[in-house]
Structure 1
């Protein structure tokens, strides 16, 4: 019977065959221990000299790292194993003998590993991170489907910028100027007026020349947009969504979290509601923490976000930023138009902003004024203004950065490990 490592618990006491690669091995005299991986998980296979043919035992002892095989044996319980099971081998059919695999069990430098990312993905830690990423994606679709959102795919090539054009990749679209998308938000607002509640999930691009551990050039965003929804209601949905994906990872990725030695007690505290702090109070808090140069109207950098997050065990919303440092489409606070109805959600443990959101301007005249202030002209923006002209309603939305969220839940230091093939300032390979 053919099966996978992830399903061996269903076959205790049975003889099965698994297609696998050799991740590592060790042997002592008359027994060989093979560490197998098959893409679904990792498992130990035990080859006893007195239980297999001589050529099989010789093969087991001499096989090279990352050799591929079909391996057949009996599944037995092993409480010492993270998986809880191991295989007692009967026979091995070698598919390909891998020679001189470059990523050995010894330590390698980051640059070397990044140059071999196509192979580094096979390692146990990287495998665990990608499985957690996959679980976040799966739980995301489940959450929004359960809450009656419609999935809408926004274009990657766009003629309009949602924010600062200096951070966009410019390209020639036949005879027109175009950009690689930095967000699907503008298109999702239009879709929300057709379907009520929508979300997108796709790649976004920022030509930001940053080398920090939180930045990628190409990253993935989950972006919900909701008609007839206030900023306050949006914050509640954000809390529910983040709580849901954290609970899903804790439930379905225990082996992966253990492989990463993640302190799950910190994640178990992540329950809605989340604390909130105004931008005004955040400035005061930062001054108390020694950031004496920070002034009202300044944007927050990574050190500021980390310092604020240290005061809370859960993610914290920083709300009502100054309008001048936020995007043109954010709705002003009615009693205080110099600040806007927005929030950044800052993850604990120094992982920074994972969500940015706001209530959008729904008044046609105010949006037209914003257009004039930001010099937004031409057909690339006219359609967005028309959303306010025909049946405008209060609406809100937000965007969650997938890679920063994966880094936080996985407990890894750098976002370059949270995407299969990262695009960094000086890296377009592999």
Structure 2
């Protein structure tokens, strides 16, 4: 009696007859032998059909199979050192589910627009599957890190009445008779949760209505946003570098074959271990001016600036103490130098830009009210946020990690659009 299994588990069935539901990834023939490249979502294996060892019906079916045809394949699993997986399947029977005709994505080269129009099918490719497996491992490692370090998962709302960082980049909608927006960050709500639970994190979708077409930007993306009560800026930086180290090392441990599929330089990831280097905004400005960039103190960094700084290091680098004028209203000023704030952006190596932004938050009620006036924020709309400073205020810090940029960096991808199953970009809402 054949055992139903999946390709990932064939190592447990060497010498046994199994049944695997699969698709034909590719096929080639050599006279009286058909070589079927099978995939089932968990992995890949070659099925070998020998004409003299199967029925005429099975042989003819094997000959007729086309790319992405779906079949149940019965056969014996054996070890095969020449195979990438280390195993091969000697096919004894085939049951056709569907014979595919004119599958749109062939082994030839296709343009990006064509592939994005067929994203629902492009996901089946070897490379895209590897990216999705690594994305899933990153998510698992993220949750493992926080769940084992005393954090509680809290889900902030997606529909909000106000903005976290200004209303210019928000998607507006109607909430019955009221105005509402798709969230651009769960941070403010996570601050409230931290006052109840100590250390918390959220993981969910966020939306930015930026008309940006760079390789680093998506309209809809996923954020991990921890907040920590009784935690200062320095403590937060240590959490961030240990967090990133854990995620990268988890991917190296559990997704080695997927990284090899992507032809990722694994040595560059093996070096990602805490602690990470740090550079102040002041030092970064000085460095950039020496490198030929004309950027005055007080301006924010763009992609070329971040890339230049990152190239000086082989690990992620923190840029700390930005001017208060270019950062969010809630960031705590440095007590020794109030024109800069206790914040940091973590810049990934190899030109992938900012993957984490974080800060110590203002905990002084009077200073927060001053910031509200400076930024012309409505006290009525944000009264609940002001209450957090009014009733039991404490030092607290937090940060946000963009999942897709992190996936792009770890996978070594040229564009962030491949890091999410169905990307939403400036000109793409299909499929």
What's the TM-score once normalised by structure 1's chain length? 0.99
Give 2:261's match in structure 1, choosing from 255, 259, 262.
259
Q: Distance in 2 between matches of 1:361 and 1:419?
A: 34
Q: How far did residue 171 of structure 1 move?
A: 1.2
Indicate the SS of the match to 2:382: helix
Indicate the residue corresponding to 1:35 in structure 2.
37
Q: Distance in 1 between matches of 2:361 and 2:82?
A: 54
The number of aligned residues is 429
Q: How far did residue 82 of structure 1 move?
A: 2.0
Q: How far did residue 379 of structure 1 move?
A: 3.2
Structure 1 residues 152-163: aligned runs within 5 Å:
152-163=154-165
Structure 2 residue 378 is matched with structure 1 residue 377: yes
Change (3 A) 1:368 1:378: closer
Deviation larger for 293-302 or 42-51: 42-51
Q: How far did residue 80 of structure 1 move?
A: 2.1
Indicate the SS of the match to 2:95: strand
Change (3 A) 1:359 1:56: same
Indicate the residue corresponding to 1:228 in structure 2.
230
Indicate the residue corresponding to 1:397 in structure 2.
398
Q: Which ranges of structure 1 fall in alignment gaps of 5 or more residues?
A: none
Indicate the residue corresponding to 1:316 in structure 2.
317
Q: Which ranges of structure 2 fall in alignment gaps of 5 or more residues?
A: none
Q: Distance in 2 between matches of 1:148 and 1:11?
A: 40
Q: How far did residue 378 of structure 1 move?
A: 4.3
Indicate the SS of the match to 1:27: strand
Indicate the residue corresponding to 1:270 in structure 2.
272
Indicate the SS of the match to 2:246: helix
Structure 2 residue 346 is matched with structure 1 residue 326: no
Q: How far did residue 164 of structure 1 move?
A: 2.5
Q: Distance in 2 between matches of 1:80 and 1:169?
A: 53
Q: Distance in 2 between matches of 1:380 and 1:27?
A: 69
Q: How far did residue 170 of structure 1 move?
A: 1.2
Q: Distance in 2 between matches of 1:146 and 1:53?
A: 55
Structure 2 residue 41 is matched with structure 1 residue 26: no
Structure 1 residues 266-305: aligned runs within 5 Å:
266-291=268-293, 293-305=294-306
Q: Distance in 1 between matches of 2:412 and 2:83?
A: 23
Q: Is the Cα contact below 8 Å between 1:83 and 1:255 reproduced in 2?
A: no
Indicate the residue corresponding to 1:307 in structure 2.
308
Q: Distance in 2 between matches of 1:58 and 1:283?
A: 69
Q: How far did residue 233 of structure 1 move?
A: 0.4
Q: Distance in 2 between matches of 1:56 and 1:164?
A: 64
Q: Is the Cα contact below 8 Å between 1:276 and 1:318 reproduced in 2?
A: yes
Indicate the residue corresponding to 2:364 in structure 1.
363
Indicate the residue corresponding to 1:138 in structure 2.
140
Q: Distance in 2 between matches of 1:86 and 1:358?
A: 52
Q: Distance in 2 between matches of 1:373 and 1:347?
A: 33
Indicate the residue corresponding to 1:51 in structure 2.
53
Q: Is the Cα contact below 8 Å between 1:205 and 1:218 reproduced in 2?
A: yes
Structure 2 residue 85 is matched with structure 1 residue 80: no
Deviation larger for 160-169 or 114-123: 160-169
Structure 2 residue 422 is matched with structure 1 residue 418: no
Cα RMSD, aligned residues only: 0.8
Q: Distance in 2 between matches of 1:25 and 1:287?
A: 56
Indicate the SS of the match to 1:143: helix
Q: Distance in 1 between matches of 2:345 and 2:150?
A: 24
Q: Distance in 2 between matches of 1:314 and 1:166?
A: 34
Q: Distance in 1 between matches of 2:285 and 2:11?
A: 54
The CA deviation string for residues 242-279 of structure 1, in whole angstroms up to 9 with x for no partner, is 00010110000011111101110000000000000000
Q: How far did residue 73 of structure 1 move?
A: 0.7
- The ranges of structure 1 where at least 4 consecutive aligned residues each deviate by more than 6 angstroms after the TM superposition are none
Q: Distance in 2 between matches of 1:390 and 1:266?
A: 47
The CA deviation string for residues 98-135 of structure 1, in whole angstroms up to 9 with x for no partner, is 11110011110000000000000000000000000000
Give 1:104's match in structure 2, choosing from 95, 103, 106.
106
What's the TM-score once normalised by structure 2's chain length? 0.99
Q: Distance in 1 between matches of 2:83 and 2:284?
A: 47
Indicate the SS of the match to 2:4: coil
Q: Distance in 2 between matches of 1:80 and 1:356?
A: 46
Q: Is the Cα contact below 8 Å between 2:372 and 2:379 reproduced in 1?
A: no
Q: Distance in 1 between matches of 2:150 and 2:83?
A: 41
Q: Distance in 2 between matches of 1:227 and 1:365?
A: 19
Indicate the SS of the match to 1:10: helix
Indicate the residue corresponding to 2:193 in structure 1.
191
Indicate the residue corresponding to 1:117 in structure 2.
119
Deviation larger for 55-64 or 362-371: 55-64
Structure 2 residue 349 is matched with structure 1 residue 348: yes
Deviation larger for 183-192 or 377-386: 377-386
Q: How far did residue 427 of structure 1 move?
A: 0.4
